[in-house]
Amino acid sequence: MNGFTVTFLVALAIAVAIEAWLMRRHLAHVQTHRSEVPEAFRDRITPEAHRKAADYTLAKGRVSQWSRGLSAATLLLFTLGGGIEWLSTFWSRVAGPGILGGICIILSTLFLMHLIELPIAVYQTFSIEQRFGFNRTTPAQYFKDMALQAALSIAIGAPLLALMLWVMERAGSLWWLWAWAILMGFSVLMSWAFPTFIAPLFNKFTPLQDQDLKQRIDRLLERCGFLSKGVFVMDGSRRSGHGNAYFTGIGNNKRIVFFDTLLSTLDHDEVEAVLAHELGHFKLKHVLKMLVASAAISFSGFALLGWLAGQDWFYTGLGVSTPSHAGALLLFLLVSPVFTIFLQPITAYFQRRHEFEADDFAAGQTRPSFLISALVKLYRDNANTLTPDPLYSAFHYSHPPASIRIANLSAKS
**By CB under 5 A, which span of 94-102, 186-194, 248-256, 352-360 interacts with Zn ion?**
352-360
Catalytic residue among 278, 355, 381, 389: 278
- The active-site residue, picked from 129, 359, 360, 389, is 359
If residue 14 lies in a helix (H) or strand (E), which one and from where to where?
helix 3-32
Min dist CB 114 to Zn ion, Å, is 29
Q: How many residues appear in the chain?
A: 413
Neighbour-count burial of 290, counting CB atoms closer than 10 A to its CB (0-12 exposed, 13-18 middle, 19+ buried)? middle
Write down the least CB distance from residue 358 to Zn ion, Å: 5
Pick the closer one to Zn ion by CB: 184 or 287. 287
CA dihedral sign of residues 333, 335, 340, 344: positive
CB of 198 to Zn ion, least distance (A): 23
CA distance 292 to 41: 38
Restricting to residues 286-325, name those near Zn ion by CB under 5 A: none
Contact status, residue 78 vs residue 115, Cβ threshold 8 Å = no
At closest approach, how far in Å is the CB of 286 from Zn ion?
8
- Residue numbers 358-377 binding Zn ion by CB under 5 A: 358
CA dihedral for 155, 161, 167, 170, sign (positive or negative)? negative
Q: Which stretch binds Zn ion (CB under 5 A): 74-82, 338-346, 348-356, 360-368?
A: 348-356
- When the beta carbons of 23 and 358 are compared against Zn ion, the nearer one is 358
**Please, what is the minimum distance in Å from the beta carbon of residue 355 to Zn ion?**
5
Nearer Cβ to Zn ion (358/378): 358
Among 27-35, 42-50, 356-364, 387-395, the segment contacting Zn ion (CB under 5 A)? 356-364
- The interface region with Zn ion, picked from 72-80, 122-130, 137-145, 350-358 by CB under 5 A, is 350-358
- Residue 154 or 221: the one with the smaller Cβ distance to Zn ion is 221
Could you tell me how far CA 151 lies from the centroid of its own chain?
Answer: 20
Answer yes or no: 19 catalytic.
no
Sequence-ordered list of residues with C-beta below 8 angstroms from that of 124, at least 6 positions apart, any chain: 60, 63
Q: How far apart are CA 323 and CA 92, in angstroms?
A: 13
- Secondary structure E strands in 177-264: 205-207, 231-234, 245-248, 255-259
Q: In what order do the strands lie in the sheet with 231-234?
A: 205-207, 231-234, 255-259, 245-248
Stretch that binds Zn ion, among 2-10, 139-147, 207-215, 349-357 (CB under 5 A): 349-357
Could you tell me the smallest distance in angstroms from the CB atom of residue 278 to Zn ion? 7
267 classed as catalytic = no
- Helices 47-78 and 3-32, axial angle in degrees (round to 10): 170
Alpha carbon 231 to chain centroid distance? 23
- Comparing CA positions, the residue from 395, 396, 387 lying closest to residue 54 is 387
Nearer to Zn ion by C-beta: 168 or 276?
276
Nearer to Zn ion among residue 74 and residue 365 (C-beta): 365
Q: How many residues bind Zn ion (CB under 5 A)?
A: 2
The type of residue at 13 is A
Q: Beta strand 231-234 with 255-259: parallel, antiparallel or unpaired?
A: parallel
To Zn ion, the closest distance from the beta carbon of 281 in angstroms equals 6
Please identify, using beta-carbon distances, which residue of 326 and 406 lies nearer to Zn ion. 406
Smallest gap from residue 301 Cβ to Zn ion (A): 26
Question: Which segment (134-142, 181-189, 226-234, 353-361) binds Zn ion by CB under 5 A?
Answer: 353-361
Within 10 A of 15 (CB to CB), how many other CB atoms are there?
A: 19
Q: Which is nearer to Zn ion, 27 or 358 (CB)?
A: 358
Give start and end residues of each alpha helix (H) in 256-343: 260-263, 268-283, 286-308, 312-316, 325-340
Catalytic residues: 278, 359
Q: Which residues bind Zn ion (CB under 5 A)?
A: 355, 358
